Amino acid sequence: MISLDDPKKFRPLRDQAHQVAMNMLRPISRKYDKAEHAYPTELDMLASMIDGLSESGAAEGAGAAGVRRDEAPEKPDTSGTKNGANLASVLSIAEMCWGDVGLLLSMPRQGLGNSAIASVANDEQHARFDGVWAGMAITEPGTGSDSANIQTTAVLDGDHYVINGEKIYVTSGDRADAIVVWATLDRDLGRAAIKSFVVPKGTPGMRVDRLEHKLGIKASDTATIIFEDCRVPKENLLGSADVDPKQGFAGAMATFDNTRPLVAAMAIGCAKASLDLTRELLEKAGVVIDYDRPAITQSAAAAKFLQMEADWEAARLLTLQAAWMADNREPNSLEASMAKAKAGRVGSDITLSCVELAGSLGYSEHELLEKWARDSKILDIFEGTQQIQQLIVARRVLGLSSAELK
């Protein structure tokens, strides 16, 4: 059974991540918010440290983890439960985003494409792409959050797949070593034919068309990438090339079972940063938050703060549950979407409410509250919007298919 306390073995990792966030990310947060598209060179040293910890086995979950339920645990867990890389990842990512979301998304070799590789790749591909920094290209013009309606095609030609299409809003699209591209082998076969391909940077036929100017996470580059007769070795198709209509979209969607809790963790970390600073500002203003009294008997500011903390805790627990289920090889698609929906909405609500509670201090650049409110909004949008997550949850709760509930 899941425990509501952070596992003891992960507390050092969590605390280390918090120290990194406080001492390395926070000090340069505003710098790279203003210098949009400039690469944060300070992250190179941090990435090397994480690589070293991962290689030594001292930092389980420090990197991008994957959900591979086809594998049996290496050792039987006699306790009946396991706290593994997925839970460690959400704990460390939440702490890092307490520092800065955009900088976390800019970390070398920690891209969302790495989670796709970890979730879908076979053993040979895991070894071959080890150490590669991979972005992930899903969204297209006209498809939005409907990942099953992907129009980018991949046609087998001898020993290569030829990819044609356009991808937008690709995180780390210009900086990453490779891009994991979602494309369909045959549009007539529907979602079952959608596969993911690792396309190395510099591959002929792949070009970055532009970098987007954004509301938040300005430290992270977000690119539009065009694929024109881009030839990729067929060995770079992640997982199996077989199209199984019975499996449907499950192979590709396994990636989301991992990445959605990670995005939820980002929202939790950013919201916690806002709560911590707002508490300090309220205390300086003489607002007392009393946990022994009903909220209705306290000031409006204190009551609002208590409500935000309760919402934050609910989102945090849903996220831990989704990650814990993945570690224990339990299907977590429903829980992953619930965590993403709750944390995304709560994150936006909390960061904006903290701006309001802090008044002029919250709205000005004197504090980071306004930045966190801008950064947080994307966490309610990418990896599936709020509305898409609610639709997924409704389908699974009601037992309806995508055709039955649109």
d(CA 90, CA 324): 10
- Asked if residue 185 lies in contact with residue 243, where contact means CB atoms within 8 angstroms, the answer is yes
- Asked if residue 108 lies in contact with residue 56, where contact means CB atoms within 8 angstroms, the answer is no
383 given a catalytic annotation: yes
CB atoms under 10 Å from CB of 335, counted, come to 23
How many CA within 13 A on the CB side of residue 252?
30
d(CA 207, CA 163): 12
What is the dihedral angle through the alpha carbons of 16, 98, 27, 173, rounded to the nearest 10 degrees?
100
Among the listed residues 95, 280, 383, 404, the single catalytic one is 383
DSSP three-state, residue 233: strand
Written as one string, the DSSP assignment of 7-72 is PGGGHHHHHHHHHHIIIIIHHHHHHHHHSTT---THHHHHHHHHHHHHHHTS-TTSS-----TTSP
∠ Cα 243 245 246 (to 5°) = 120
- Asked if residue 353 lies in contact with residue 405, where contact means CB atoms within 8 angstroms, the answer is no
Which residue numbers are catalytic? Answer: 383
